[in-house]
Each structure stands twice: as structure tokens, then as C-alpha cells.
Chain A
Amino acid sequence: MIRPDAPTLLEIRDLRASVEDQPILKGVSLTIRAGEIHAVMGRNGSGKSTLSKVLAGHPAYTVTGGSVLYRGENLLELDPEQRARIGLFLGFQYPVEIPGVSNLEFLRVATNARRAERGEEELDTFAFEDLVRERLAVVQMDPAFLERSVNEGFSGGEKKRNEILQMALLEPVVAILDETDSGLDIDALRIVAGGVNQLAGPDNATLLITHYQRLLDLITPDHVHVMAAGRILRSGGKELALELERSGYDWVDQELARLGGEPERQPVEVA
């Protein structure tokens, strides 16, 4: 939902970042207002996950230029945990397995960290169980997953549902969902998309990173951005995604050549 008077939640200006001295993001600019759903599309290796990790504060990435304001505050000087507590959420492309740490306890500690930041009381184990059972419904997840170690032995689809469950518990202001649709069968995709739609509201915003139109058939974006070689090449409305679906990404290389930029690097598989 686009409202010109809605407050700006995230303002990314000319963001540049590198990993191991290799520049990956080469000037990304993006403004996200309350109530909006944005989609970022692009080929493998174009820098989408890097953008999400930099926003979440992953220590492997060095910001080399530009700025990110989160509700007017300099996001880049905050620790990852502080970013999460004030309402930034990253749904991981590859959720991490943590053997030996119970999913239930992990969810409770995380939820309480966010609640403390919002001035709400901590939930004890009983109160939290009530809350988590209610939120499980958002992703139609079996409570048995609470008893297991975080993501350990979960299928791809189960891991993604666990991400959305975390989102439902943390009630973020800005949610970045990195390929939450990949690896999902059509039923799981419906469930995940339904969860995201349910959680989207006038006071928060969602940034969907995806390859596929099929997610955007279920979650209608207000803005679509095409990323290539570490920058946003083109932005438009939801029709841009449909156009990509028809004509593919071949025009990207011509446009990059015209801009005189480097071609996209072949991605290295990084989990």
C-alpha cells in the first residue's frame, strides 16, 4: 500500500560494501515507507543476499560507503542484535542449523529481547508457550518442531516456515525476506505467503528478495527493483516483475555494458 505521507522506515543511500576486499555492493539506493511491500529481483550473484546481510549487520561484510537510516537513525553503527531489537528482521536464504539449542528456548530468548526493547515484560516459559502456539497457526507448523534443535534436520520448507514463525513472534517493523520462496512446494509457498500477508500492515514494511513471479502472484508488491552487479538497475511497479517473467534478464548485460560497469561475477556458493 503506497501512501505518500507515510513515514520513511528505511532509507538506503548509495550503499557500498565489500567482502574480503572484494566490492559487492556498488551504490544501492532504496527508500521504504510504512505500509509498503518491495520486491528485489535479480540473477544469482547480483548481490541481493549481500544487501540483506549488510542491513542485518553480518560481520563478514564491510561497508565502504553510503548510509542507511532506519526511522531516521544510523543503522550501520548498531550491533546486529540491536538492529533486531528495534525491529529489523532478516529471513535467511539459508537458515542456520544450531544443534543442541532448543528451538523453543531460542524463540523465547529472541522474543524476550525484542519485548524488553519495546518496554514490555518478559514472558516466562508458560506465557511464551501460549504465545508461540498461537503464532504457530500463522505458518501451520507442527508444535513438535519446537522441541527440536534450531533448524536441525528441518527440510528446506520447514526451515522457511520457522523463519516466518520467528517473524510472527518478533513483529518486526522492516522485514527482509531473502528467497523465502525458494525450495517451497506450492502448498508451503501458499502458507508462507499467507503468513507474510497476515503480518504486513500499515505501520510496517516488507522487502522480498526473490527470483520468481510465483511469490509475487501471492504477495502483491508496491515496488519492484531489479538488481545487477551490486546496484539497482531499474525500479518500477508490479508490472516490472511480469515483464521480467516474459523477457528474462538478457537486457541486463546490455544495460550494464552501456553503463560501463563490470559484468556480474559468477556467484560462489556461500551458505
Chain B
Amino acid sequence: MVAAPLTSVPAGSTAGAAAAAWLADLAGAPLPSRRQEDWRFTDLSPLLAIPTGIAAPSGGLPADPWRALSLPAGVERLDAQQAERALGTSLTACAAADHWPVRLNAGAAPATLVLRVDGDGGSLELPLAAPEGDGLVAWRLLLLLEPGARLELLQVPHAAPGHRQLLSLVTEVVLAEDARLNLGCLALGRDDCCLLNHLAVRQAPGSELLATTVSTGWSLARHEPRVLQEQGAARTRLRGLQRVEGRQLADTHSCVRFEGPEGELDQLHKAVAGGAGRSVFNGAVQVPRAAQRTNAAQMSRNLLLSDRARIDTKPELEIVADDVKCAHGATVSQLQREELFYLRSRGIDAGTAARLLQRAFCEEVLRELPSTARRHDPITALLGDV
């Protein structure tokens, strides 16, 4: 669907000021400003162009957006009471409870889903379809994986067609010993909508996390995967792909912390920036003294398609332990001229050739999404028809 791009409302204007006040009130804290290090490159004014209020269809909000969700064997839904002990623990452990997007989510009385997985939970797609109506939509999830449990879960946050919305998603995960989670988030957005996506994961030793986030089309998208290896000795694999064009902004601020020895991190973040779009990546990796023999690798690869687009990428390594391997790197390149010419010299027009090369760039991350993602044809959503 084609929507008019957001005209960002200057914070000083009346509408902008009213929206800022409403959001601040909900979160119990003023909007972050670019003077804060964490938000230095990220202008939040697109949030102020979303109509204020909680999005709701005229008949009122359904009590539970997931009442019809059928769960595979091994996956059980807990009610709020049963979940009380675990709710919030990952956020607290990841030092995120006071983080502004998390506070905003809490203030919006989010629809909440808690899933407990014992044994093999198989593969599950979790629809996150926003209700109709302009304004803020908030979801909160908690995934509890018991020792040795496994689950593949795809989140598909989706704004309601024709409505200008700010989607707020907070996902908490607790992985017990030897649990394995493949978590995907396929966030195909629109130019008149924003997404704040926070993920907080606690990993016990022997557990494995693969978390893949794919994001395109949002006026503003902010992804905040945070992982705590509580005693090290776990494996964390993070994948990110974000595409911006027009005046869109996508920002990923990740943080992985090792609180014990022999943890592993393998992180790849990719961005494609066209038009006057802006992509931000900040990857924190914290290796305190207790985390000896940590093995961490972080790579940021970026494709710059226009000279008006902008890419800011920064590793943020805090390494105190001395016996660690910690590799990191970042590249920003344009489509390779020789590759383009080779394709064109075989009769492939310049546009198709460019899309083939971009698709190859994106596939490296897309193929890591849970297999059900294919149904959504993410490559077409990202690049149009090839």
C-alpha cells in the first residue's frame, strides 16, 4: 500500500508538543533527546506525527488478540498470575526496565502473552496484527523455555491498513539450561507508521539463541535486542537486516553482556540505505572480568545506494577480561561496479542487476529467519519484484 510519507511535526509546534506530552505522560518520563548518547543519531520526531491515543476500533478493543491462537504441543499459555514471577525479570536483568521505549510499552497497558515451552515446541508464527484505529498499539510477550526446550517463533508485527500507528513491542525471553530458541521478527512497515521493538533475553549456560530481525518501510524503526548470558557458556547468534529509503530511519541498538566464562556471540548486522534514508547501528558487547574465554564476533555490513542516504555504524566493546577473542568490523560500500557491469554485459538491465545484487546482500540474513517467514515473501517486500 502506498501512503503519504509522514511530514514530521517539529517538536515546537502545538500538535507536536501535545503528542510529546501525551507520550511522556504515558511513559512517566520525557521523550529521549538527541543529547543522550543512546539516541544521538535518532530523531524521534516521527513519533510525534502519529495521532495520540491508544489505537482501538470503534467497537472497542478485543479483550485478547490471541484468543484464537492454536498452540503446538509443548507450548502452553500462562495467565498473568502464573507468569507473575517471571514477568519483568529479563528486562531487569538486561537493565532495560527504565528504558524509555519499555516504559512507554508498560504505560500503554499492552496486550500480554506468556508462553511456556517444555520439550519440543516446534514452529509457531505469532501474528501481531494491530487493531484498527490511529494511535499507539502495544504488545508484550514473555517466552519461558524450560531446560532443554526448543522453539522456533516468528513475530510479524503489522500495522492496520489505512491507520497511522506507533507499534510498541516488548519481548522478554528466559532460556533455561540447554534451551534453544530461534526467534525471528519480520517487521514490514509503512511510511506513516513507527515501530519500537525491544527484546530482552536471559540465557542460562548451554542455551542457544538465534534472533533475527528484518525491518523495512517504517518511518521510524528502533530495534533493541539485549541479551544477558547470566553465567556465560551460552551461544548467541544475532542477525539484523534493515532497509531505509525516502526519509525513513531505522536504528538498531544491540547489547550483549557476558556474566560468566566461555560465552559465544556471533552477530551480523546489515543495512541497505537508499534515498535520503538513514540507518544506525550501535552494537554493545560487554565482557567483564568474570567472562574469560569469551568468543565474540560482530560484523556490520552496509550498502549505500544513494549519496543522500546516511549510515552510522559503531561497535561498542567494553572488554575487561584478558583472555577473550573479540573480533569486530564494519564495511560501507556501494553496489560493486564490476559486478553490475558483468550482469549488464549479459543483457540484464541495470535495474534488475542492482536488485539481484541487493537481493544477494539481503538473503544472507533472510535465510536465517524461521522457515514460515517465506510465506510473507520478505524479499519482494524489501526490494520489489525482481
Chains A and B bind each other: yes
Chain A residues close to B by CB (< 8 Å): 56-60, 79-81, 83-85, 90, 92, 95-96, 98-101, 105-106, 109-110, 113-114, 117, 149-150, 166, 170, 271
Chain B residues close to A by CB (< 8 Å): 337-339, 341-350, 352-353, 356-357, 359-361, 363-364
Return B79 CB to nearest CB of chain A, in Å: 46
- Offer 7 A-B interface pairs, CB within 8 angstroms, sorted by A: A59-B337, A59-B341, A80-B344, A84-B345, A85-B347, A105-B356, A109-B352
| Chain B residue, CB-CB nearest to A92 | B342
A149 to B341, CA, bound (A): 17
Report the 7 A-B pairs with minimum CB-CB distance, sorted nearest first: A100-B360, A113-B347, A110-B346, A84-B347, A96-B342, A80-B344, A85-B347
A40 to B352, CA, bound (A): 33
Contact A110 B350 (CB under 8 A): no
A84 to B346, CA, bound (A): 6
Given the complex, which residues of B lie within 8 Å of A56, measured CB to CB? 345
Most buried by B among A57, A85, A96: A96
Given the complex, which residues of B lie within 8 Å of A95, measured CB to CB? 342
| Chain A residue, CB-CB nearest to B356 | A101
Return A198 CB to nearest CB of chain B, in Å: 20
Given the complex, which residues of B lie within 8 Å of A101, measured CB to CB? 343, 356-357, 359-360
A96 to B361, CA, bound (A): 16
Return B357 CB to nearest CB of chain A, in Å: 7
Return B364 CB to nearest CB of chain A, in Å: 7
Known A101-B360, A109-B348, A113-B349; 14 more pairs at CB < 8 Å: A57-B345, A58-B341, A79-B344, A80-B341, A80-B345, A81-B349, A84-B344, A92-B345, A96-B338, A96-B342, A101-B357, A101-B359, A109-B352, A113-B348
Contact A81 B337 (CB under 8 A): no
| Chain A residue, CB-CB nearest to B352 | A109
A153 to B338, CA, bound (A): 17
Return A271 CB to nearest CB of chain B, in Å: 7
Among candidates B344, B345, B363, residue contacting A100 with C-beta atoms closer than 8 Å: B363
A79 to B341, CA, bound (A): 10
Return B123 CB to nearest CB of chain A, in Å: 25
Given the complex, which residues of B lie within 8 Å of A105, measured CB to CB? 356
A117 to B348, CA, bound (A): 12
Return A109 CB to nearest CB of chain B, in Å: 6
Contact A170:B347 (CB < 8 A) given known A60-B337, A96-B338: yes
Given the complex, which residues of A lie within 8 Å of B352, measured CB to CB? 109
| Chain B residue, CB-CB nearest to A56 | B345
Return A233 CB to nearest CB of chain B, in Å: 28
Return A73 CB to nearest CB of chain B, in Å: 16
Contact A110 B347 (CB under 8 A): yes
Most buried by A among B345, B350, B361: B345
Given the complex, which residues of B lie within 8 Å of A99, measured CB to CB? 360
Contact B348 A110 (CB under 8 A): yes
Given the complex, which residues of A lie within 8 Å of B360, measured CB to CB? 98-101, 149
Given the complex, which residues of B lie within 8 Å of A80, measured CB to CB? 341, 344-345
Contact A98 B342 (CB under 8 A): yes
Contact B350 A81 (CB under 8 A): yes
Contact A81 B347 (CB under 8 A): yes
A58 to B361, CA, bound (A): 23
Contact A98 B339 (CB under 8 A): yes
Given the complex, which residues of A lie within 8 Å of B353, measured CB to CB? 81
Return B383 CB to nearest CB of chain A, in Å: 13
Given the complex, which residues of B lie within 8 Å of A57, measured CB to CB? 344-345
Contact A170:B338 (CB < 8 A) given known A101-B356, A109-B352: no
Given the complex, which residues of A lie within 8 Å of B346, measured CB to CB? 81, 84, 106, 110, 113, 166, 170
A80 to B343, CA, bound (A): 9
A58 to B338, CA, bound (A): 9
